[in-house]
């Protein structure tokens, strides 16, 4: 029987750093020789993320084929983890759903449709259905709900994909809270996104540099503020948006002013901060892995997501762990800073009933 790490003080540096990574991988079915299994078993990564579409191969064959197949895949990867994994997916509903009808999963409504109906009972029923599906398939972390405001109706990645409940922060909070409670009652963590707000952007951070300096509005913080204040929020995902009023140099994911200042100090958030995919164009087009990781750690990111889908790199986990370990050994990052993230990750996994 697998046992968890019982004492954070006795955990090796490498294991703590491993917990700070959440990785994507290829395969409908795995063997013990697959690279992701070495990342889980030997490098102790904190989690994995599943996708239905392989962006590099441009084929709808990645990790999802059927309900039974996904359940077995999740069971298989979890079996190799000393500390149970975050097994995650983006299952927002509507267009952003990795578990689709063609694979045997129920259809789902988008946040925009639910927000327009503004029926909390229906949102709750949808969320309960999603949470039940996730639990049954072996997932324990949903990167949802999206609490971005529909500030720009022409936004290609938020409004354009019907991911926002609307422009009214009160409406967004009401519906997001139903989603989060339905999941959390089933020991599935939700991650609200994309801090500090992606709904006003004119472009898509997946594709490249996204500057919201002239479009971002203070009201975009409201859903995050209210959900954090009420205690409903267990974890937050960053946006890769750039706003020179926040930070003249770095996008939000790499900004001390945004994560350390706005999220931690101003909004008093003490939970886990997940990065959006570090391979998205807004980061990877402008920064190398070393700089992005260093700035992200300094900013306050706890878990770095490498979806490993925009570019497929089987060795991405090993490389990232080596880079972060070198930061500590050379004094660029203190071990206490690693411990901060490790404690937050462990606390969330305890809250989820994983350890």
pLDDT tens for residues 206-220? 989 999 999 999 999
How much is the pLDDT for 8?
43
Question: Tell me: the pLDDT tens digits for 298-341?
Answer: 999 999 999 999 999 999 999 999 999 999 999 999 999 999 99
**Cα 198 from Cα 91, distance rounded (Å):** 18
Strand order, beta sheet including 47-49 = 272-274, 235-238, 189-195, 141-142, 86-89, 47-49, 21-24, 304-306
Q: How many CB atoms lie within 10 A of CB 289?
A: 18
Task: Judge whether residue 5 has pLDDT over 70.
Answer: no
> If we measure between CA atoms, which residue out of 83, 88, 9, 7 comes closest to residue 349?
83
| Burial status of residue 194 (CB atoms within 10 A of its CB: 0-12, 13-18, 19 or more) | buried
Nearest to 336 by CA among 292, 298, 289: 298
Over the stretch 153-205, which tens digit does the pLDDT of each residue have? 999 999 999 999 999 999 999 999 999 999 999 999 999 999 999 999 999 88
pLDDT the model gives residue 4:
39
pLDDT value of position 11: 74
Give the pLDDT mean for 100-111: 97
Is it the case that residue 113 has pLDDT exceeding 80? yes
Of 147, 161, 133, 158, which Cα lies nearest the Cα of 74? 133
* Candidates 90, 276, 277, 302; catalytic one: 276
Domains along the sequence of the chain with CATH: 8-351 (3.20.20.300)
Least Cα distance to 192 among 165, 159, 212, 162 occurs for 165
Say whether 206 is catalytic: yes
In this prediction the pTM is 0.96
pLDDT mean across residues, the chain: 96
Mean pLDDT of 70-77: 98
Q: Are residues 271 and 263 in contact, defined by beta-carbon separation less than 8 angstroms?
A: no
User: Beta strands 91-93 and 86-89: pairing type?
Assistant: unpaired
Beta bridge partners of 47: 22, 86
Kindly report, residue by residue over 238-258, the tens digit of the pLDDT.
Answer: 999 999 999 999 999 999 999
Active site residue 44: no
**What is d(CA 75, CA 139) in angstroms, rounded to the nearest whole number?**
9
- Mean pLDDT confidence for 32-60: 97
Pairing of strands 141-142, 47-49: unpaired
Ramachandran quadrant class, 74 (left: phi over 0; alpha: psi -120 to 50; beta: rest): alpha
Residue in 117, 106, 114, 168 with CA at minimum distance from that of residue 145: 114
Describe the crossing of helices 289-299 and 316-329 by its angle, rounded to 10 degrees.
Answer: 60
- Average pLDDT of 279-293? 96
Check 206, 211, 232, 339 and give the catalytic one: 206
Name the DSSP class of 54: B
């Amino acid at each position: 029987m697998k046992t968890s790490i019982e004492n954070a003080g006795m955990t090796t540096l490498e294991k703590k750093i491993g917990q700070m990574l959440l990785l994507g991988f290829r395969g409908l079915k795995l063997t013990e020789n697959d690279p992701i299994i070495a990342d889980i078993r030997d490098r102790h990564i904190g989690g994995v993320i599943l996708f239905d579409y392989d962006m590099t191969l441009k084929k709808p064959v990645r990790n999802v084929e059927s309900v039974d197949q996904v359940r077995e895949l999740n069971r298989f990867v979890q079996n190799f983890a000393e500390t149970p994994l975050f097994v995650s997916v983006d299952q927002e509903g509507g267009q952003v759903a990795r578990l689709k009808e063609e694979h045997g999963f129920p259809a789902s409504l988008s946040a925009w449709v639910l927000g327009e109906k503004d029926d909390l009972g229906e949102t709750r029923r949808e969320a309960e259905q999603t949470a039940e599906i996730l639990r049954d398939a072996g997932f324990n972390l949903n990167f949802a709900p999206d609490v971005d405001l529909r500030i720009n109706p022409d936004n290609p990645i938020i409004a354009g994909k019907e991911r926002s409940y609307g422009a009214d922060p009160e409406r967004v909070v009401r519906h997001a809270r139903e989603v989060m409670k339905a999941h959390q009652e089933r020991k599935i963590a939700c991650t609200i996104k994309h801090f500090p707000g992606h709904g006003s952007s004119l472009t898509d951070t997946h594709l490249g540099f996204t500057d919201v300096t002239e479009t971002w509005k203070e009201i975009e913080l409201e859903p995050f503020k209210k959900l954090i204040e009420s205690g409903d929020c267990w974890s937050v995902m960053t946006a890769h948006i750039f706003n020179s009023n926040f930070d003249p140099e770095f996008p939000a994911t790499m900004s001390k002013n945004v994560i350390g200042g706005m999220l931690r100090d101003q909004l008093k958030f003490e939970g886990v901060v997940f990065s959006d995919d570090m391979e998205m164009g807004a980061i990877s087009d402008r920064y190398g892995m070393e700089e992005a990781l260093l700035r992200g750690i300094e900013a306050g990111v706890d878990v770095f997501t490498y979806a490993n889908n925009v570019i497929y790199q089987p060795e991405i986990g090993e490389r990232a762990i080596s880079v972060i370990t070198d930061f500590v050994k050379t004094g660029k990052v203190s071990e206490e800073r690693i411990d901060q993230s490790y404690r937050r990750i462990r606390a969330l996994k305890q809250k989820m009933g994983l350890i």
